[in-house]
Each structure stands twice: as structure tokens, then as C-alpha cells.
């Protein structure tokens, strides 16, 4: 029986940045320019507006924050309140 010996050449792993730099240098230059010129945006107002709970959403907020009820969805028979907060 004959065996063939195969040699594998290992290639080093490169980052996405290095790959783009090698394969698409024009796009790489554009990305560098974009990184230098991008404007930092303050998103504080957007986050606060998204976190504001008013109107019909208050009902869902209340449901999501209410204590678990006894039974299948909350405490099982024989469990205590402390079992919900076990570390």
C-alpha cells in the first residue's frame, strides 16, 4: 500500500485591517481618512429619551417589575422568598 506525504504550509492570521490594506488599498486610505474626520456625537439625549417611560408603556413597565406570583411562574410549593435571590 502506498502513502502520500502531504506538506501543509501554515499561514499566519491577519487582522481585517491588514487584509483590506493588502487587497484594497484605495478603500483602506478612505477608511483612514474617515477615522480621522469622524465627528463624535453626544447620544445622551437619545438615551434619556429612549429610557423615558410614559403613557401605555408604564403598564408594561409595571408588569415587568412586579414581584413574581406563587405557582409555576414564581415561587414553587416549598420555596421561600429568599430562594429567588440565591447567589
Give φ, ψ of 74 to 5 degrees: -130, -120
What pLDDT is attached to residue 72?
56
Residue range 26-75, pLDDT digits in tens: 999 998 888 887 777 777 877 777 777 677 777 777 778 887 665 556 66
Bridge partners (DSSP) of residue 70 are 75
Q: Which residues of 56-86 are buried (b: 16+ CB within 10 A; e: fewer)?
A: eeeeeeeeeeeeeeeeeeebeeeeeeeeeee
| Burial class for 31, CB neighbours closer than 10 Å (0-12, 13-18, 19+) | middle
**How would residue 24 be classed by pLDDT, with cut points 50, 70 and 90?**
very high
Is the full-model pTM beyond 0.75? no
Nearest to 37 by CA among 45, 29, 46: 29
Please determine, for residue 19, whether its predicted confidence score (pLDDT) is greater than 80.
Answer: yes
Amino acid at each position: 500500500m502506498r502513502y502520500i506525504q502531504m506538506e501543509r504550509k501554515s499561514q499566519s492570521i491577519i487582522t481585517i485591517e491588514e487584509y483590506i490594506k493588502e487587497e484594497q488599498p484605495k478603500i483602506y486610505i478612505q477608511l483612514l481618512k474617515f477615522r480621522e474626520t469622524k465627528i463624535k456625537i453626544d447620544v445622551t439625549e437619545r438615551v434619556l429619551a429612549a429610557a423615558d417611560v410614559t403613557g401605555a408603556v408604564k403598564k408594561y413597565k409595571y408588569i415587568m417589575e412586579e414581584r413574581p406570583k406563587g405557582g409555576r411562574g414564581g415561587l414553587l410549593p416549598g420555596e421561600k422568598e429568599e430562594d429567588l435571590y440565591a447567589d
